[in-house]
C-alpha cells in the first residue's frame, strides 16, 4: 500500500501544489537560471524553483550534500509526515529506504573537476560522499532515523518507478514492513546539456519554453530536461491497517525487461517494451480491460512516443481505445531518475481525486500517436487501475500497476 507522498518538482515544492499545477496544466519550463546557457543549442529546462535546503537541513549538512540528496530529504520528510510516520522509531530495522536516481551528483563532479584544475587542495573532503548514487537514500535514512534495508538503484529514466516495485518486493520478502521509496535527480549543468544537445535529444524551442515539451504532438522536437524528487511510503497492508493508515492505492505488481539493443535508442520493434507491459499486467493479475489510465513515459521524442503508442495498442488491443493516457512530462519536463516516481504520484492522486491530468501542448496530433492523451485539459474519471510506463537509456523497460483500495 502507498500511505504517504512527498514531492519537490518544477511546478511545486510539495505534493499538493505540484498536483494542483498538473491538474491545471501549468508548465514549469523556462529559461535556465542554474547556469549561463549562452552558446548552447538548448537554453531551457524544468528547474525546481525557490527551494531552500536550509528549511530541511542544517547549514553543515547543506554544505556537505548535493541537490539530488536535498530534494530527496525534503520529499521523504513530507511523505513520512503524510503517512503519519514522522515520530515513529525503528529499533528493529523494519523501515527501509529505496531512493533511486539516474545521474547521481553530476553537478558536484563537474564543479570539483573545475576546482581540481586550479586549486586541488580546495576539493571538498566530502566530495565523494556527496556525489555517490546511494547518498540520497542514506541521507533520508539518517534524517528519519530508520534502520531497515537502504538501497539505491540506477535504471536511467526508469529508476523512479523501479523503486516502488523494489519496495514491494522487499516487503513481500519479509525484509521490511515499510519502505520509503522514490526517485531523485538534479543534473542541470553545461556539460550535461552539451552532451544531450549533441545527441539531438533535447527540445531547442528556446523562444517558447512553456510549449516546448510536446509529447505525442506531430511537432515535437525532443524532451525538456528537468529535476526534482518524488517519494512515496510503501507498506504492507497489515502494517498500514494496524496503525490506522489511510492508503492512496495498492502497488499491485509490475515487470522489468531489457531491449538489449542500444545504449540510448529503443528497439524499433518495441518487443520488450510490450513484454514489460504484458508481464506487469499478468504479475498484478489484471487484464487489459480493467485498466482505466496509463501515465505514459511520453518523452516528446519522435521515436519513443510512437513506439510507446504502438506497444500500448499491441498489448491492450480493443481496450486501448477506452484508455486515458497522459504525459506529465509535458509540464514538468523529464525529471530523469525521478520521472517514474512522479508518474506514480500522479496515478495515486488520480485514483484519490477522480481526475486525470492533461497532456498539454498537444495541438497537432501525430497520426501514428492515436490514443486518447487527455489533450490540454484535465478530465474527471473514476480511476480504479492505473499503469505507469517507464523506459530508460540502455533499453531498460519498467512497468508498474497500481490499484484503487
Catalytic positions, please? Answer: 157, 297, 334
Distances, alpha carbon 61 to alpha carbons 66, 129, 291, 308, in Å: 9, 12, 44, 41
What is the Cα–Cα distance from 335 to 227, expressed in whole angstroms? 4
What is the Cα–Cα distance from 290 to 386, expressed in whole angstroms? 9
Q: What is the DSSP letter of 54?
A: G
- Strands 150-151, 95-100: pairing is parallel
CA 359 to chain centre: 16
Inter-helix orientation angle 135-144/67-83, to 10°: 40
Contact 376, 226 (CB under 8 A): no
What is the Cα–Cα distance from 144 to 358, expressed in whole angstroms? 35
Sheet of 324-326, strands arranged across: 250-258, 396-403, 385-392, 293-295, 324-326
CA angle, residues 219, 392, 26, in degrees to nearest 5 = 50
Cell representation of residue 313? 495498442
Residues 6+ away with beta carbon under 8 Å from 118: none
Contact 89, 145 (CB under 8 A): yes
Residues 6+ away with beta carbon under 8 Å from 270: 307, 308, 310, 311, 314
What is the Cα–Cα distance from 336 to 225, expressed in whole angstroms? 8
Residues 6+ away with beta carbon under 8 Å from 198: none
Contact 139, 73 (CB under 8 A): yes
Q: Where does 325-390 have alpha helices with state H?
A: 329-332, 339-353
Amino acid at each position: 500500500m502507498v500511505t504517504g507522498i512527498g514531492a519537490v518538482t518544477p511546478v511545486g515544492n510539495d505534493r499538493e501544489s505540484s498536483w494542483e499545477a498538473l491538474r491545471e496544466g501549468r508548465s514549469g519550463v523556462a529559461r535556465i537560471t542554474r547556469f549561463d546557457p549562452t552558446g548552447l543549442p538548448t537554453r531551457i529546462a524544468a528547474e525546481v524553483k525557490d527551494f531552500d535546503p536550509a528549511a530541511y537541513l542544517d547549514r553543515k549538512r547543506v554544505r556537505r550534500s548535493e541537490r539530488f540528496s536535498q530534494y530527496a530529504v525534503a520529499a521523504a520528510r513530507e511523505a513520512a509526515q503524510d503517512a503519519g510516520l514522522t515520530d515513529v522509531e525503528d529499533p528493529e530495522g523494519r523501515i527501509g529506504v529505496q531512493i533511486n536516481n539516474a545521474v547521481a551528483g553530476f553537478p558536484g563532479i563537474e564543479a570539483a573537476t573545475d576546482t581540481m584544475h586550479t586549486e586541488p587542495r580546495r576539493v571538498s573532503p566530502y566530495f565523494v560522499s556527496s556525489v555517490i548514487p546511494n547518498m540520497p537514500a542514506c541521507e533520508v535514512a539518517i534524517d528519519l532515523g530508520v534502520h531497515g534495508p537502504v538501497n539505491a538503484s540506477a535504471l536511467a529514466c526508469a529508476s523512479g518507478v523501479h523503486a516502488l516495485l523494489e519496495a514491494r518486493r522487499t516487503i513481500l520478502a519479509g525484509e521490511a514492513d515499510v519502505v520509503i521509496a522514490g526517485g531523485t535527480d538534479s543534473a542541470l549543468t553545461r556539460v550535461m546539456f552539451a552532451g544531450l544537445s549533441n545527441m539531438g535529444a533535447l527540445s531547442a524551442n528556446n523562444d517558447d519554453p512553456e510549449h516546448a515539451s510536446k509529447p505525442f504532438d506531430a511537432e515535437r522536437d525532443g524532451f525538456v530536461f528537468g529535476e526534482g524528487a518524488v517519494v512515496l511510503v510503501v507498506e504492507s497492508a497489515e502494517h498500514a491497517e494496524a496503525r490506522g493508515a489511510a492508503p492512496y492505492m495498492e502497488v499491485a505488481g509490475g515487470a522489468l525487461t531489457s531491449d538489449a539493443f542500444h545504449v540510448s535508442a529503443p528497439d524499433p520493434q518495441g518487443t520488450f517494451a510490450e513484454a514489460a507491459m504484458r508481464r506487469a499486467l499478468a504479475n498484478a493479475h489484471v487484464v487489459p480491460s480493467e485498466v482505466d489510465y496509463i501515465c505514459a513515459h511520453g518523452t516528446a521524442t519522435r521515436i519513443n512516443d510512437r513506439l510507446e503508442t504502438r506497444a500500448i495498442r499491441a498489448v491492450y488491443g480493443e481496450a486501448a481505445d477506452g484508455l486515458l493516457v497522459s504525459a506529465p512530462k509535458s509540464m514538468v519536463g523529464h525529471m530523469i531518475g525521478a520521472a517514474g516516481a512522479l508518474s506514480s504520484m500522479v496515478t495515486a492522486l488520480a485514483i484519490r481525486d477522480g481526475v486525470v491530468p492533461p497532456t498539454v501542448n498537444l495541438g497537432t496530433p501525430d497520426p501514428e500517436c492515436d490514443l486518447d492523451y487527455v489533450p490540454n485539459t484535465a478530465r474527471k474519471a473514476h480511476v480504479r487501475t492505473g499503469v505507469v510506463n517507464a523506459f530508460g537509456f540502455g533499453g531498460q523497460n519498467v512497468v508498474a500497476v497500481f490499484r484503487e483500495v
